Amino acid sequence: MLRTSLIAAVVALFAGSASAQYFSEDFSSGVPPTGWTENNNGNSAGWEDDGTGQAWHDDYTGMNVNSLDSSVADLTGSTAPALTWDNTNTFATWTLANKVYVDADLVWAQGAANGASGPQTVDMTAYAGMQVTLSFLYEGDYANDWKVDNVLIDAAAPPPPPSVTILFEDFESGLCPPPGWVENNNGNSDGWELWNAADSHIGQGHAVIHDDYNGYNLNSLIVGAGGTIDATNETGLHVEWLQDNHFPTWCFRNSVLVNGTEEWFQDATSVGSVSAQAADLSAHDGTMIELEFLYEGDYANEWMLDNIDLRATDGGGGGGFTLAVAGLVAGGSADLSLSGAGAGATCIMAYSLAGGGPTSTSVGDVDLSMPINRLPALTADANGDAGMSVSVPSGAAGVSVWIQAVDMSTSTLSNSVAETVG
Identify any residues that bridge with 369 across adjacent strands, giving them in sequence order: none
Rounded to the nearest angstrom, the gap between the alpha carbon of residue 196 and the centroid of all alpha carbons in its chain is 26
Architecture of the domain whose range is 322-420: Sandwich (2.60)
For residue 275, give the nearest of 239, 309, 245 by alpha carbon: 245
Identify the CATH assignment for 31-155 out of 2.60.120.200, 3.40.50.300, 3.50.50.60, 2.60.120.1130.
2.60.120.200
Average pLDDT over residues 32-60: 96
For residue 73, give the nearest of 151, 138, 12, 18 by alpha carbon: 151
pTM equals 0.53
- Confidence check: pLDDT of 391 > 80: no
Q: What is the distance between the alpha carbons of residues 56 and 47, in angstroms, rounded to a whole number?
A: 5
For residue 20, give the nearest of 153, 122, 160 by alpha carbon: 153
* Residue 116: C-alpha distances to residues 7, 87, 92 (Å): 33, 8, 7
* Other beta carbons within 10 Å of 382: 7
53-57, 228-232, 394-398 — most confident range: 53-57
What's residue 20's pLDDT? 62
Identify the CATH assignment for 164-312 out of 2.60.40.740, 1.20.120.530, 3.40.50.720, 2.60.120.200.
2.60.120.200
pLDDT 10s digits, 113-136: 888 888 898 989 899 999 999 999
Provide the residue ranges of all domains of the chain, joining segments of one domain with +. Answer: 31-155, 164-312, 322-420
Q: What is the share, in percent, of the chain residues with pLDDT greater than 70?
A: 90
What's residue 333's pLDDT? 84
- Confidence check: pLDDT of 15 > 50: no
For residue 90, give the nearest of 21, 159, 138, 23 by alpha carbon: 138
Phi, psi (deg, nearest 5) at residue 394: -65, -25
Query: Fold match between 31-155 and 164-312?
Result: yes
Q: What is the distance between the alpha carbons of residues 336 and 389, in angstroms, rounded to a whole number?
A: 6
